[in-house]
A and B are shown apart, each in its own frame.
Chain A
């Protein structure tokens, strides 16, 4: 059974640009959530999708957005990148009702 797949693994962008990250959950998992991990702030919740609907949103500016497709794959978009957006972005999938969140390997975004 394939795990959670995130692409790309690494990304370097310039301030002001935008970026789209992708997450393919474990087959059968309908919930996908996104987290930002930085040395200073730890793991911060961005948002979560369940059956194509955003159910929860963290305290991030509107530059951070996401969506989920009918096959449960999810994308996260960050517009007008800032240096402080440099982080490891992790997604996690679960069945949505039983816990057991499984993380992907993450996308390491560097903004220069």
Chain B
């Protein structure tokens, strides 16, 4: 089955700096890679996702890159703010039309943005 590794497990950056979280996956059939942000005591929330037919996607201060050959994808947060502090999870799955899929999650990265 799919295995997703995520690094680093903790990351501390100063406000305004950039943060990068990296994930690798094992199943070459995986074609959908979402990122979730989970604040303390709250549900994981989808912040950005990327499909295997594109190499990069950006949404304001957040971007995700995908390297299918190397089987890794990364989350980039620029101009970090204190409200970016949370645990971030990457995930991978194979989407097939009309069928169900399961998300395999990385182990999470605790991001702390300091003033």
Contact = CB atoms under 8 A, between A and B. Distances in A.
B34 A101 contact: yes
Contact of A103 (B44, B97, B100): B44
A48 B46 contact: no
A35 B34 CA distance: 16
Interface in A37-96: 42-43, 45, 48-50, 55-56, 58, 90, 92, 96
Chain B, interface size: which category?
20 to 34
Chain A, interface size: which category?
20 to 34
B73 interface: no
Contacts, number: 67
Nearest to B108: A42
Contacts of B96: 97
A101 B102 CA distance: 10
Contacts of A55: 99-100
Given A50-B99, A97-B96, A99-B34, A45 B43 contact: no
A74 B34 CA distance: 23
A100 interface: yes
Interface of B: 32, 34, 36, 42-46, 49, 51, 89, 93, 95-108
